[in-house]
Amino acid sequence: MRITGFDYQRVPVSDDVALNVAVAGTGSPIVLLHGFPETHLMWRHVATDLTADHTVLCPDLRGYGESDKPADTGETYSKRSMAADVVAVAKAFGHDRFALAGHDRGALVALRAGLDHPGEVSHLAILDVLPTLDMWDVLHGTSAAVGFHLYLMAQPPGLPEQLIGAAPDAFFGHFLDAWTRPGDAIPADVRAAYLEASRNAVTSIVADYRASAGIDVEHDTADREAGNRLTMPLTVLQQDWGAALGYDAVALWRAWATDLDHRTVTSGHFMAEESPSEVVKALRELLTRS
């Protein structure tokens, strides 16, 4: 499936990786990064709205959708590598500086891009994640069961891929159902597209998650110890996970950012599909900040 009105290109981002990118609109650029277990299609409502006055780029992350899925060498699916992909995509379209928004896994890539490439990322929006270090810290006791997939995919290569590959639609479909408020935010045809894409990317999706229990932790720890912070305007939209898991979300994010607007939403995890107008409003307000 494709976003109506968008053109599609395959964009080389390194010697052995090209990304599938949807692009439309004119004006200042914004890159939108999807989450799990989805593709760029999750931005279809938000992206279409933003094209009225922005150039909108929606890539499939490496390892997802119709983008390349290289074999994991240890750093292949680090958020640092995936963030470099994003900068390369923007530059391929002539943009040396751009706004960036990410949901879920894409939000972790966006966060790393903001830390590694502050000269390129002008504004940053994060949808419904915590930074990797904080995510692991807040999961404890029986409440950690909500993140069972994080622990499963953190295991060494072999078992996670075998277990998930044995029933991929049941596994990926669980999250599409459990993390969405009742309604028609994800229609049957879109859901089927997500399941097909995920079914064809089990190994690379697991590698992406495994990186967040390994090399991503190393990179984030180095930034925390060095006192590195996000210096661009940052908007964070999150469900009230702090109340559910017992942490102060605003305080956690403030430790990473110098210019933070944190908002708690009432939609489910897939807020760009459940409440696209709320997300568009937040992004437009973010882009007015300097």
pLDDT of residue 242: 82
Host domain of residue 157: 7-287
pLDDT of residue 244: 77
First to last CA, the chain: 36
177 falls within a domain: yes
226 falls within a domain: yes
139 falls within a domain: yes
Average pLDDT score over the chain: 97
Instruction: Give alpha helix (H) positions in 117-157.
Output: 132-138, 148-152
| Positions of the chain with pLDDT under 70 | none
- Looking at the chain, the whole-number percentage of residues with pLDDT higher than 90 is 94
185 falls within a domain: yes
29: number of Cβ within 10 Å: 21
State the total domains in the chain: 1
**Token pair of 35 as six digits:** 């989450």
> CA 235 → CA 10, 95, 106, 190, 238, distances in Å?
29, 22, 15, 27, 10
1 falls within a domain: no
pLDDT of residue 243: 81
**What pTM was estimated for this model as a whole?**
0.97
**Token pair of 170 as six digits:** 């049941």
2 falls within a domain: no
Which residues are known catalytic residues?
A: 104, 269
pLDDT of residue 199: 98
Domain of residue 93, CATH code: 3.40.50.1820
* Cβ atoms of residues 257 and 111 within 8 Å: no
